[in-house]
Chains A and B, each alone.
Chain A
Amino acid sequence: MAALVIAEHDQLTIRAATLNTVTAALACDAEVHVLVIGHQAQGAAQAASQIAGVKKVLLADAAHHAHMLAENAAAQILALAADYDYILAPATAMGKNVLPRVAAQLDVAQISDITKVVSKDTFERPIYAGNAIATVQSIDAKKLITVRTTNFDAAATSGGAASIDTITASADAGTSQFVSVELSQSDRPELTAAKIIVSGGRGLGSGEQYQQVMEPLADKLGAAMGASRAAVDAGYVPNDYQVGQTGKIVAPALYVAVGISGAIQHLAGMKDSKVIVAINKDPEAPIFSVADYGLVADLFTAVPELVKELG
C-alpha cells in the first residue's frame, strides 16, 4: 500500500504546498504517489514527476476537472482510494475543501492540519488556534490527512523520475459549476504565503494612517500587509487583512507587528512566525512577550525611520 498526495497546481506548475505535503507523506509511507486532477495539466504532472521521493504520478485530465470543484475532485480521489492507506492534501483552500468530502464518503475521520507525523497512525495537530497541541491517534483503516505546510520542509523539485499514468477521469457530478475567478491584482505576496508580513493595529489611528505608515514599509520589504482584529473592527482595512484566530493563520520568516497590543486572538494567528518584531509605545503590551525584537517607540516616527534605515 502507499500514500497518495493530492497536488495543488495551476495546470502548468506544481504549487509549493504540494512539496511540503510530499515530505509529510514520505514520513507516513515510503511509497508516495501524486494525483494531479485538472484540465490540460500535463505540465503540472511533468513537474510532479520530478519531485524527489515521488514514485508515480496519476493524471486525471478532463474539462470538468479544470477548477477542482469539490464534487468532481472528491469523486476522482474516491475512485482511487482503495489502493492507498494514506491520502494527504495540503491544508490550503483546495485541500480543506475537497478532502473532508472524500473522508465522509469513505466513512473515516479526517485529521486536519497536522504539524507532525508521530507514527503510522499518530499525529500532532494544533487546536484552539494553536494554544494547545493535540496528539491524536486514528483508529480508521485509512488515514485522510491535511498538512500544515509551514511545518514540513519542501521536497526537492528535481531528482525524481516518476512515471506518469493517465487515468480515467471520473464523471462530472453536474451539481455545481465554476462561474469565475478573481485573483487579487496586488503585487504584494498573498498573506498566508508571504515570507515577510507587516501588520498594523489600532495604534495606527485611522485607515489613512494605516496606508501612509504601513505601505512604504511593505514596499521596502516586499511584504504582505496584515492587521489585527482591532484594526479591522475599527474599519481601517478590510477583514481579509486580519491575522488571528478568526482571521488568517500565518507563519512567515519575519512578522513585524506595528501598534498591535497582542491580544490572544491575534497571537494565535502569528506566533509560529520565525522572527517577530514588535513596535509599540506601551512597554507593557503583551506583544513583547512573544517578540524576538521589541522596540518601545512611537510608531509614527519609528516606522518611517525604519523605512529609511532599510535603504
Chain B
Amino acid sequence: MKALVAVKRVVDYNVKVRVKSDQTGVDIANVKMSMNPFDEIAVEEAVRLKEAGVVTEIVAVSCGVTQCQETLRTAMAIGADRAILVESDADLQPLAVAKILKALVDKESPSLIILGKQAIDDDSNQTGQMLAALLNRPQATFASKVQVANGQVSVTREVDGGLETIALQLPAVITTDLRLNEPRYVTLPNIMKAKKKQLDTVKPEDLGVDVSPRLKTIQVNEPPKRSAGVMVPDVKTLVEKLKNEAKVI
C-alpha cells in the first residue's frame, strides 16, 4: 500500500525565537530551520512500515516556500521514495493545508496518511484531524503504536491518563506522538541518494484550493516576564519559604 507523509519546515526546536519589535510576528529571518520533530517521527514510522513489508511506496509532501525542498530532501534521506512540494508564499493555515493535502490524497490514493500531531511553530494540532474530516475517513491522533493487518490499522493513542487502542478501516489518517518511535539519523550516502529522488512542484491553484487565511493575526507579543526570584542559602529556608511565603505546600 501507498503511504503519504506530510512534513513541515519550522524553526529548529533549539532556537529561541524573538518577537519582532513591530509586533507583527516572530523574527525567523536567518534562524535555523528544520523538519518539525513530530513529522520526523511520521516519516520514520512510514519507513519502518515499508521495511516491514506493509507499505510499498512513501510520498512526502510539504506546503510552503521554495526552501521546503530541503525538508523534503531530508524526508527522502530518511527513506521516502519521492516528494511533492506545494509551493506558496502565502500564510498557510491548517485548514488550507488540509485542503491541499486532500487534493493530493484524491490524486495519489494512499491507504495511510501520516502527519505529526502538531507543528512546533503555530502549535495548532489541527491539520491531521481536518484532513480526515475532509476525506470523510477515520482518524487516530497522538499515535504511540501503529499496526496494520487485514485492511485495518490498529493504533494505540496517548490520551490523558493512559493509552487507548482503536481500530480504523483503511484508508485512515494517523498523527504521531513522541513515543511512537525514535527517528533515525540521516547518513551521508542517503543524503546523496535523496538528491536523485523525484521531487515535483505544484501550486495550490493547480489543485484548485483557496488558501486565504481565516485567522487574522492582530499582533504578536512577548509572553509576560516572570519576576526575578530569590536565591535561598539552604534547604531549610527553601521549605520555610514554600510553606509560608508561596504557600504551595
Contact = CB atoms under 8 A, between A and B. Distances in A.
Contact of A111 (B160, B172, B179, B215): B215
Task: Classify the interface of chain B: helix, strand, loop or mixed.
Answer: mixed
A113 to B, nearest CB: 7
Contacts of B126: 100, 103, 110, 112
For chain B, the bracket of interface size reads: 35 or more
Interface string A257-289: 000000111000001001111000000000010
Contacts of B142: 93, 96-97
B149 to A, nearest CB: 12
A130 interface: yes
Interface string A192-221: 110010000000000000000000000001
Task: Determine which residue in B142, B157, B215, B221 has the highest number of CB atoms from chain A within 10 A of its CB, and name it.
Answer: B215
A239 B179 contact: yes
A129 B120 contact: yes
A271 B225 CA distance: 10
B74 interface: no
A276 B162 CA distance: 26
B221 A132 contact: yes
B15 to A, nearest CB: 8
B120 A245 contact: yes
A240 interface: yes
A253 B248 contact: yes
Contact of A109 (B95, B139, B160, B223): B95
Contacts of B186: none
A173 interface: yes
28 contacts: A67-B164, A70-B129, A93-B142, A94-B159, A100-B127, A103-B130, A103-B133, A104-B131, A109-B214, A112-B124, A125-B123, A128-B17, A132-B221, A133-B223, A137-B217, A177-B167, A179-B165, A180-B164, A181-B159, A181-B164, A183-B161, A246-B13, A254-B246, A275-B242, A292-B229, A293-B246, A297-B235, A310-B239
A253 B249 CA distance: 9
Contacts of A134: 217, 219-220
Interface of A: 67, 69-71, 74, 92-94, 96-105, 107-113, 122, 125-140, 173, 175-184, 190, 192-193, 196, 221, 238-240, 242, 245-247, 253-254, 263-265, 271, 274-277, 288, 290-297, 302, 305-306, 309-310
A101 B231 contact: no
Given A108-B214, A253-B248, A295-B234, A100 B130 contact: yes
Nearest to A296: B231
Contacts of B38: 246
Given A132-B17, A275-B248, 10 more contacts: A98-B129, A101-B133, A104-B129, A110-B126, A128-B26, A132-B220, A139-B216, A179-B165, A183-B162, A309-B238
A130 B218 CA distance: 17
A129 B37 CA distance: 13
